[in-house]
Amino acid sequence: MEHVDVAIIGGGPAGASAAERAAYHDAETVLFEQGVPREDRAEAGPDSTDAAGMLDYWIDIMDFEFEEIPDEVVHRELDGTDFVGPSSSVELNTTGMDATYQKFGYTFHRARMDDWLHERAIDAGADLRVGTSVKSIDTDLSGPSHTLALSSGDEVEAEYVVLADGPQRRVTLDALDQFTKPGSSISEQLSPPKANHIAYQEYREFPEELFESDRLKFWWGYMPGETAYPWVFPNDGTVARVGLTMPIGMTLDDIDNPESYKLLKATDDGIPSGSEYIRRLLELEYGDEYDIEEDFPIVEDRGKSRGTETYPISSTRPVESPVGANIAVAGGAMGTTSAFHEGGYHVAVRTGKIAGRLAATDSLGNYNDVWKRAIGDEIRRNVAFADIVADYEPDDWDRAFETVREMQGSSGGDSIISKKYSAGIGAAKILAAYKKRKFAYRNGNYVQFSEDEYIY
């Protein structure tokens, strides 16, 4: 049987970053990635989904400098974002966060970014085995050591394992269930249909006069569901990604006021599909002057299936890892992606880097403390805001955006999060709710499964 120091499951941003750091610190490192085809990638690679935008301070969270990232990765540098409600909207031209990168953010080519992280891992000495998946992991706690059963029929023994198989958690759930009590298992809490949102997007060519190359755009309160919203991200040329995120398994019976949502119709007998939602959004925004299918054609040489992509996003709080068993969970598999801001690449990279370094230096016992110091503030912000807006309906979004505009005017800035507000009772209520939620999640209380709940 083959023996390695560190085995990593999953070749996305968390897994590739873990592999690079582990190999850099002289650990014998192997990464297993089952590999999927993309129409914009020459060979099969990690399960890259190109819903990729990066805010200014996220680059610092990744522990990169913008200048390090290859030019061919970056699509568009951004000046701001627009949040659109049913009858109100707000522009944000700064995140309000300290950052070394001086623009608002950028959009990027996800597959190229993942491939760059792969190249870094290979250059550091990691063994990347794309096309080889892990079927199961059996842990012997006397070591601890781990036996990985591969799709090829072979087995590999590893001293440390980093689970980085994304929100679908194909391997993670069973691997962690080895250390949980019946009735309170990780698989029950992180079951993908329950713990994830579903996202869908299309690559559309926009008329040149409508293409906004330096701004993101989000529509809130247009479709039902907790943190459900459509978006437009500018790519290369005049191609944009038009997508959305929504809960899995929602029905019309779950919605109190379906008539209040602009993307629902009285004739609907069920929740529209992702493609139908996008068609309705484009019709609503541009249909008076443009033929949507003719003037906004799908670009078929992108994504996974003729210019479209469907993928999961974690919609829960993160879990800690069973470090006593020499296992770390990183990135989307641990629940660090967020349906609220439709992103998690930055925290996936950072948690992967931390997991790889600590595994290689026999310090994995510190992992849960170290990742919370590195990304804890980001997680607290996300879960606090997600809690506040969880039950928002269209009117709530309009009131919130009107309040934010008042905040901007009264504070002299463009940021949602500012140190002082003098915009009246609406601002005071939002600020008080945010502070209360953040306080409740202090000292790492935002985790939904803690290290001391595992059984060794």
In terms of domains, do 48 and 149 share one? yes
In terms of domains, do 329 and 308 share one? no
pLDDT of residue 157: 97
In terms of domains, do 220 and 263 share one? yes
pLDDT of residue 301: 83
* 3-class SS letters over 236-304: CCCEEEEEEEEECCCCHHHCCCHHHCCCCCCCCCCCCCHHHHHHHHHHHHHCCCCCHHHHCCECCCCCC
Q: Does 157 map to a domain?
A: yes
Q: Which domain holds residue 282?
A: 202-312
Band the pLDDT of 408: cuts 50, 70, 90.
low
In terms of domains, do 173 and 28 share one? yes
How is residue 172 written in tokens?
């993670």
Which residues, at least 6 apart from 335, have a Cβ–Cβ distance to it below 8 Å? 167, 190, 195, 314, 316, 317, 318, 319, 448
| 30 vs 440 pLDDT, higher one | 30
Q: Does 179 map to a domain?
A: yes
Q: Does 17 map to a domain?
A: yes
In terms of domains, do 301 and 330 share one? no
Which residues, at least 6 apart from 430, have a Cβ–Cβ distance to it below 8 Å? 388, 400, 403
pTM here is 0.93
Q: Write the CATH number for 132.
A: 3.50.50.60
Contact by Cβ (8 Å): 336, 368: no
In terms of domains, do 255 and 300 share one? yes
Chain Cα centroid distance, residue 441: 20
Q: Does 175 map to a domain?
A: yes
Contact by Cβ (8 Å): 75, 43: no
d(CA 219, CA 85): 6
Contact by Cβ (8 Å): 180, 327: no
In terms of domains, do 212 and 292 share one? yes
Q: Write down which residue in 283, 312, 341 finishes a domain.
A: 312
In terms of domains, do 273 and 373 share one? no
In terms of domains, do 226 and 185 share one? no
In terms of domains, do 30 and 118 share one? yes
Q: Does 31 map to a domain?
A: yes
Rounded to an integer, the average pLDDT of 233-249 is 93
Give the pLDDT confidence of 312-351 residue by residue, as tens digits: 888 888 999 999 999 999 999 998 877 566 568 999 999 9
Give the pLDDT confidence of 179-208 residue by residue, as tens digits: 987 777 788 888 888 878 888 999 999 999
pLDDT of residue 185: 79
One-letter amino acid for residue 154 of the chain: D
Give the pLDDT confidence of 416-431 residue by residue, as tens digits: 444 444 445 556 677 7
